[in-house]
């Protein structure tokens, strides 16, 4: 526990003083939504996209957005300034609020709002050089994986199974097709074409994913948003994961077998550089 400044229900207070009721529906039911927004050089990456995804998630679970985008921006800016000049990731969390324990929606609960910002450390250069290992597992999650819900028990159990096998991520297979990682979207390169599954209810619409698709299109690099079978996935020339805190990371071992020649591939190298360039431009942009 630290004394870092956080936002809770309208107040800026030290983290170690931030408390919510045990009857909060987030605590009791996991009834809430969250977002993670990276910030480089004090500027949030794709703020509007994150706000739109937040709104979509809140709408999907029928929690009304307690703040305007301008209010969210003001809170985030204040926490970024308090945290310092380093790159950061902002975690924001909204629950349906405090009410006596009953599954049905409470009549008059006020959403609980929590926001904090933490330093975002650059990805370990050794991981960029060697890549990471992952395993495939059955996607046991629910039918609304497009909602960024705080209830992450399936993702936690799946990630831990990967960790137990000395792997960094579990990549999930549903009905014979690859969906995403437990906390990441997945890309493959097959015969020179980048591929990632289309956005639907089986995966979270990652902001990093969308940016990578956009960068590929801008630079005329062949990319397809298509269903990827487990078989095609396991025989890919390259596999990458994307997320706000991991950027674009090469996966070089899958189920203890090499991906391609077991080294990060040239298409990843190119996209990684384009992603870094994009962040660098953001860092240099004035507020």
Ligand X SMILES: Cc1ncc(COP(=O)(O)O)c(C=O)c1O
Residue 106 or residue 205: which is nearer to ligand X going by CB?
205
The answer to the question of residue 242 lying near ligand X (CB under 6 A) is yes
Q: How far apart are CA 12 and CA 10, in angstroms?
A: 7
One residue of 57, 243, 252, 253 binding ligand X per CB under 6 A: 243
Residue 172 and residue 201 in contact, taking contact as beta carbons nearer than 8 Å: no
Residue 204 or residue 249: which is nearer to ligand X going by CB?
204
Enter the DSSP assignment of 34: E
Beta bridge partners of 183: none
148 is catalytic: yes
One residue of 44, 83, 185, 253 binding ligand X per CB under 6 A: 185
Residue 116 or residue 207: which is nearer to ligand X going by CB?
207
Binding residues for ligand X restricted to 196-215, rule: CB under 6 A: 204, 206-209
One residue of 88, 95, 196, 244 binding ligand X per CB under 6 A: 244
The answer to the question of residue 183 lying near ligand X (CB under 6 A) is yes
Strands 32-40 and 88-95: antiparallel
Q: How far apart are CA 248 and CA 35, in angstroms?
A: 19
Residue 102 or residue 277: which is nearer to ligand X going by CB?
277
Q: How far apart are CA 135 and CA 140, in angstroms?
A: 15
Q: Which of 130, 148, 274, 279 is catalytic?
A: 148
Strands 169-174 and 132-138: parallel
6 three-state secondary structure: strand
Chain residues that interact with ligand X, rule: CB under 6 A: 36, 180, 183-185, 204, 206-209, 242-244
Give the catalytic positions in this structure: 148
């Amino acid at each position: 526990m630290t004394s870092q400044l956080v936002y809770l229900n309208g107040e800026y207070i030290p983290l170690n003083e931030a408390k919510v009721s045990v009857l909060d529906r987030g605590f009791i039911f996991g009834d809430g939504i969250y977002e993670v927004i990276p910030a480089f050089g004090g500027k949030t990456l794709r703020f509007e996209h994150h706000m739109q995804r937040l709104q979509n998630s809140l709408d999907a679970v029928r929690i009304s957005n307690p703040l305007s985008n301008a209010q969210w921006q003001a809170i985030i800016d204040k926490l970024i300034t308090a945290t310092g000049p380093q790159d950061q990731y902002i975690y924001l969390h909204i629950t349906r609020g405090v009410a006596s324990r009953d599954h049905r929606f409470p009549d008059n609960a006020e959403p609980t709002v929590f926001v904090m910002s933490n330093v975002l450390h650059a990805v370990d250069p050794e991981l960029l050089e060697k890549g990471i290992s992952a395993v495939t597992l059955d996607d046991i999650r629910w039918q609304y994986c497009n909602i960024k819900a705080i209830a992450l028990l399936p993702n936690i159990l799946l990630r831990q199974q990967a960790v137990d096998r000395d792997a960094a991520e579990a990549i999930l297979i549903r009905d014979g097709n690859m969906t995403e990682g437990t906390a990441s979207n997945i890309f493959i390169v097959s015969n020179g074409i980048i591929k990632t599954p289309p956005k639907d209810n089986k995966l979270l619409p990652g902001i990093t994913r969308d940016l990578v698709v956009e960068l590929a299109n801008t630079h005329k690099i062949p990319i397809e948003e298509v269903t990827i079978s487990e078989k095609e996935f396991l025989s890919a020339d390259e596999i990458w994961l994307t997320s706000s805190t991991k950027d674009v990371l090469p996966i070089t071992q899958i189920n203890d077998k090499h991906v391609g020649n077991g080294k990060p591939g040239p298409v990843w190298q190119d996209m990684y550089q384009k992603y870094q360039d994009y962040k660098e431009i953001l860092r240099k942009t004035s507020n």
